Every structure is written in C-alpha cells, then in structure tokens.
Amino acid sequence: MPSSSGGSAAADTLAGELGTEVALTLRIVANVTVGPLADWATYDSANGYVYVPNSYTDVSVIEGTSVASTVAVGTDPVSVIWDSGNGDVYVVNEYSDNVSVIDGMTLVGSVNVGNSPEGGTYDDANGDVYVSNYLSNNVTVLNGSQAVGSVNVGVSPSSAVYDSGNGDVYVSNDYSANVSVIHGTSVVATVSVGSGPQVATYDSGNGYVYVPNVNTGNVSVIDGTSLVGTIAVGEYPSFALFDSGNGDVYVLNAGSNNVSVVNGTQLVGSVSEGSSPGSAAYDSGNGYVYVLNPVSGNVSAVNGTALIETVPIGSGIQNAAYDGDNGYVYVPNFNTGNVSVVGVVSSPSGTASPAVPGVPLWVSVVNGVLVALVVAGVVVYVMRHRRRPATPDSF
C-alpha cells in the first residue's frame, strides 16, 4: 500500500511509536445533511469549499464537515465547474437553461446558455468555461460572467474534457457517435468514435484523450484530431479517469460491473466492482482510484489492478469530489439528501471502529494506557455527468 502525505505517513510514524502494525481502513468520517437530489460535488482548492447542488434550486457550500452556506441558483443544477483562474464556480442548471456563477458563498452572475445544459470543462489556457447543451447541440463559451461564443457541435453533447497539451476541448456527442474538437470558439475537427460516447479523460502522460462508448463496449483513443486506437472493454462503459501516478486510464463498465484498466492503447487489467460503477476519482496522495457503485451503494478503492477495500455508503451515489487539503472525499447521496465524508483512517491491528465514526475514531490500549487515535488520510471522491442512465435505452 503506497504511502501518502496524510494517513499513510501518520500510520508509519504511529506504528514506530507503538511497536505494532497499523492498518489503513476506509471509513465514513461524517454525514453532512444538504438537501434532496444531491448528486454532484466539486472542490475549490482556492477557498477549500466543496460545492454540492441539491433540492432542484440550491447549492450547499461545505467547509470541512459542515454546511457553511446555501446559495440559490437556477432550476435543476446538475454539475459544477471550477475556474481556477478567477476562482469562481459555474453551476450548470439543466432546466432553466442557464449557468449560475458563484464566488465563495455569493452568487455573482447568471448566464443564459443553450437548451438543457449538462456538463462542461475549464480551459486554463484561455480562461474560458465550456458548457455542453444537450438539446440545442451546441457549446456555450463563457468568460467570467459573460457568454463570449456559441459553437455548434454534434448531436446531444453531454460532456467535455480539456487537453492541456494542445489547448483543445473535446466534446462527446451522444447521438452522432463523434467527438467535436474545439479550439477557442471554433470547431477544428470532428472525430468519429463508437456509439454513445460518454465522459472522456485526458492522459497528460501520452497526450491522448480516451472516450468510452456506451453502446459499443469500447474506448476510442484520440491523439490531437486523429483516432489512434480502439480498445474493447466491458459492457456499457460510461466514464473514464486518468491516474497520473501509474499512467493508466480506468474505464467504468456499468453493464459488466467491472473496471477496465488501459495503458496507451492496450488493455492491461480488469477489476471486479459493485453494481453499475458510474464514476470515479483519483487520489494523488495514496495513488488509489475510488470507484462509486450507485446500485450496490458502495465505494471501492483500487490500486493499480487490485481491489483494496469497499466501504458501504448508500444508494444513489453518482459523483464525488476529493479535497486535497483535508484528505477527505465527499460523496453526495441522491436518495438520502446528504453527503458522506469518507476518509482513510489508521489503527493498530486488532482495534475496532464504529460504523460511522465519532470522536475519537479509533481507541486502543497500549501498555495499560488508553490511547485515542484520530488519523485522517488522503481520500477521494468521483461525474455523474448526468442523470440519464448509461444504458443503450438512453440513446
């Protein structure tokens, strides 16, 4: 198990002091009540807040393990994009066809976009935010609190990913089986892929973009504007994630309940998961990939091609956010209206932990002395890119 700057390092120190083996375990540190229909989380590393849209018209701003504020936004907020340049967060409101702009805990703007916006990405080269509009077949380009362009793309664009190597934005078009490549406010190429392209990822190591195709059970590999490979994976792949530690790409297969591990243009492994894995997050501290399984209601920690541990959360989990400051992962629960805060805790062998730890998290007796241990490590969290199920019936 790789060490991290948080829980693993503390565990090594603790083991030396106590003269005993220390194990790392995934645990729920806290449950934060937000509102119903919570299914997305985004972390703002500038202010340390986690933004969770819920209740059809609100965004809860979480600091640590408590709600610091609630901000009213548009109707049915489905995703949140963080702009690291100006520090604002952009809340995509699917039913009101607009984007709410939040600075800290204050609503600072509202921008009209296309019909049924669903996802998007931030381009740190030009400072623009790209919002994909599912029903109007275009992408709205925002800068600050202004719309600066509208780009026609393929049919039903659902998500986008930014390639920091060439400065392009790649838009997955569900119904036209292709990817639109945007530079600035212009489409520079259209790349044919499989049927039902979903949430793609950029590999900063080799410069490739990986696009999972839900209906054809494969992943299209794009280099610039060229298709350089097609990799067969599991059933209904709907989400891809790059692991910058080992250089692998993890493809979640909702139909076959597993994760395909890809390196370059080759399949290098497969990891069995819970029911319908839908999204994931990478923890750069401990090197784990955390996979959310919404049907079985749990989160799995994967290291390389090995399943390390699974922790029960609850049904309806579809997305998560990793807080690099406190090492927690925030997992919104769509069905229960709360956010589970997950952490890696360490304890000497033989100690036990509560199902939902309080304070202290771990208790052990060493040489007749009661020792309370509270060690939170680097934890991840997760998307869902939209509420429509990732099955052929969706397309």
Residue 65 has pLDDT above 90, yes or no: yes
Neighbours of 244 (CB within 10 A): 12
pLDDT greater than 50 at residue 110 = yes
* Phi/psi of residue 15, nearest 5 degrees: -60, -40
Amino acid at the residue 246: N
**73 to 56, 241, 394: CA distances (angstroms):** 9, 29, 27
> Nearest Cα to 100, choosing from 113, 110, 87?
110
Give me the chain's average pLDDT, please.
85
Give CA–CA dist 90/127, Å, rounded.
Answer: 13
More confident residue, 394 or 224: 224
How confident is the model at residue 139, as a pLDDT?
98
- Residue 232's nearest CA partner among 267, 192, 272, 275 is 267
Please tell me which residue, 385 or 308, carries the higher pLDDT value.
Answer: 308
pTM: 0.84
Q: Which helix (H) or strand (E) holds 109?
A: strand 106-112
Per-residue confidence (pLDDT) for residue 381, from 0 to 100: 26
pLDDT at site 26: 82
C-alpha–C-alpha distance, residues 248 and 251, integer Å: 10
Six token digits for residue 258: 């597993």
CATH number for region 7-394: 2.130.10.10
Least confident of 35-39, 86-90, 92-96: 35-39
Residue 211 class from Cβ within 10 Å (0-12 exposed, 13-18 middle, 19+ buried)? Answer: buried
230: Cβ contacts below 8 Å, ≥ 6 apart: 194, 218, 219, 220, 221
CA atoms of 335 and 316, how far apart (whole Å): 5
Q: Which of 129-143, 315-329, 369-383 has the highest mean pLDDT?
A: 129-143
Q: What is the pLDDT of residue 254?
A: 96
Helix, strand or coil, per DSSP, at residue 1: coil
Confidence label for 223 from pLDDT (cuts 50, 70 and 90): very high
Nearest C-alpha neighbor of 385 from the set 156, 87, 145: 156
Strand partners, 61: 51, 69
Give the N- to C-terminal CA distance of the chain in Å, as an integer: 40
State the pairing for strand pair 201-202/208-213: antiparallel
The token pair at 328 is 């927690």
Residue that is written with structure tokens 């994009």 in the block: 81
For the stretch 251-280, pLDDT in tens is 999 999 999 999 999 999 999 998 999 999
Tokens 């490739």 sit on residue: 208
Q: Output Rg (C-alpha) for the chain, integer angstroms.
A: 21
What's at 73, amino acid-wise?
V
Provide the pLDDT confidence category of residue 244 given band limits of 50, 70 and 90.
very high
Rounded alpha-carbon distances, angstroms, from residue 326 to 43, 49, 300, 342: 11, 11, 20, 11
pLDDT of residue 292: 96
From 70-74, 194-198, 270-274, 358-362, the region with the lowest mean pLDDT:
358-362
Q: What's the pLDDT score for residue 346?
A: 61
The pLDDT tens digits of the residues spanning 340-375 come to: 999 877 654 444 443 333 322 333 333 333 333 333
Contacts 24+ apart (CB under 8 A), 87-92: 87/44, 87/46, 87/47, 88/144, 89/42, 89/44, 89/51, 90/120, 90/129, 90/131, 90/142, 91/51, 91/53, 91/59, 92/117, 92/118, 92/119, 92/120, 92/131
SS (H, E, C) 206-233: CCEEEEEECCCCEEEEEECCEEEEEEEC
Which neighbouring-strand residues pair with 77?
93
**Quick one: pLDDT band at residue 314, thresholds 50, 70, 90?**
confident
**Residue 11, pLDDT score:** 40
Percent composition of the chain: helix, strand, coil (DSSP 3-state, to 5):
5, 55, 45
Q: In this model, does residue 378 exceed pLDDT 60?
A: no
pLDDT tens digit sequence for 24-54: 678 899 999 999 999 899 999 999 999 999 9
210 compared with 287, residue with greater pLDDT: 210
Least confident window among 7-11, 216-220, 305-309: 7-11
Distance CA 310, CA 286 (A): 16
Do 273 and 257 touch, CB atoms closer than 8 A? yes
